[in-house]
Amino acid sequence: MKAIVVEKPNRVVYKEVDIPTLSSGEVLIKLKYTAICATDFGVIEGRVPKARYPIIPGHEWSGIVEEVYDKRDEYLLGKRVVAENHITCMRCPACRQGKWNQCVNYDEIGFSKNGGYAEYLKTIANNIHLLPDEISDIEASLIEPTAVAVYTMLRTGVQIGDNVTILGDGPIGLLCMQIAKNMGGQKILVSGGHDSRLKLARKFGAYETFNRHTDPISIVERVREIHEGGSDVVIEAAGSPKAFRDALDIAHQEAIIGITGFCEWKEAIIQPDKILTKNLTVRGADASPGTWDIAIRLVANGKINLRELISHTFQLEECEKALMIVKNKEDDLVKGVFKIN
């Protein structure tokens, strides 16, 4: 099969590799689409401690089950599917409490196990989710980030009438915005640096948008103009230490701040007294435990628009061009995907 392989940090090659062979509990997926995520570049550039080289990146994908190892999984053959990426030990205290995203012994598709930048992928049958007819193959490649956004918003507990600010206009930020609206959030402000993405935010129902490059005032001032006293819920989806500092200033008394942007171990200089004196709650939202079925239902029922997030489609052999466009956010990029089969 053809695949994009990171042989070592900063060495990416498109080449022929063996189709994966299965062991007990595993299934073989013929991939249809794989989306390109910003965290894939952490793998490509050697910034992810969990990565094992050589590795095929890609953790946002859709496909069809082509082969199964165990007879009990034969019902999956020919089915359109997505799958959760964490392969956990099921033995540690976190796993035994159902907190698989806190497993201390996990592997992850696209990071420590080969992922979706290829024609085929293998994973475990236990992680599979069947796709309804209402979701297309290309939309399904974004179920993974949708599940992440759902988990983030459930962690923050948006209530009907809450004023919400989303810091970050990437796919996760735009998904969090749509989910916040479904949860009853009002006067939702989306902050970012890309006019094409902010235009989408307004189309999806944002009350206001803020471009950090062109707006004449600060994000803190802009929020205070539309949210009296500050925002009830703030989502840091930019992966920026500055955005986290801004979140503390934007937050209303007793607000909740949700952290879903990955800063890649950068340090943020903050004033802890802001958390203390405002009685703030800061909640991390790592991965997407227990939210995949919710994400699938929301998309299938038309509550979340995924198709318009996909601005670019590439073939696998266009990997050099595709990765350059996505990394540099060229050509009004929102989300790029590989069309595979």
pLDDT tens per residue across span 81-122: 999 999 999 999 999 998 888 998 999 999 999 999 999 999
User: Exposed e or buried b for every residue in 219-250, given b needs 16+ CB within 10 A?
Assistant: beebbbeebeebbbbbbbbbbbbebbbbbbbb
* DSSP track, 270-318: --HHHHHHTT-EEEE--S-TT-HHHHHHHHHTTSS--GGGEEEEEEGGG
Establish if 297 belongs to a structural domain.
no
| Residue 127 shares a structural domain with residue 169 | no
Answer yes or no: is 289 within a domain: no
pLDDT band at 267 (very low <50, low <70, confident <90, very high): confident
Structure tokens at 332: 């009004």
Mark whether 48 and 170 lie in a shared domain: no
Per-residue pLDDT tens digits for 210-259: 999 999 999 999 999 999 999 999 999 999 999 999 999 999 999 999 99
Residue 47 in domain: yes
Tokens 């940090």 belong to: 9
User: Residue 300 domain-assigned?
Assistant: no
Average confidence score pLDDT of the chain: 96
Q: Where are the alpha helices (DSSP H) in the chain?
A: 40-44, 93-96, 137-140, 143-156, 171-182, 195-204, 219-226, 241-250, 272-277, 292-300, 319-328
Query: What are 135-150's pLDDT values in tens digits?
Result: 999 999 999 999 999 9
User: pLDDT above 70 covers what percent of the chain?
Assistant: 100
Q: Is the pLDDT of residue 264 over 90?
A: no
pLDDT, mean of residues 67-83: 98
Tell whether 301 is covered by a domain. no
Assess whether 133 and 155 both reside in one domain: no
- Give the total number of structural domains in the chain: 2
Average pLDDT over residues 285-304: 96
Structural domain contains residue 318: yes
Residue 42: domain span: 2-142+306-339
* Pairing outcome for strands 120-124 and 107-108: unpaired
Q: Are residues 226 and 101 in the same domain?
A: no
Please name which of 336, 322, 325 lies closest in space to residue 142, comparing C-alpha atoms. 336
Are residues 179 and 156 located together in one domain of the fold? yes
* Mean pLDDT to the nearest integer, 52-66: 98
Judged against a pLDDT cut of 80, whether residue 127 lies above it is answered with yes
State residue 58 phi and psi, 5-degree precision: 110, 110
- CATH code for the domain of 170: 3.40.50.720
Helix (H, G, I), strand (E, B) or coil at 198: helix
Q: What is the pLDDT of residue 98?
A: 85
The pairing of beta strand 120-124 with beta strand 26-35: antiparallel
pLDDT at 188 over 80: yes
In a domain, 290, yes or no: no
- 113 and 61 together in one domain: yes
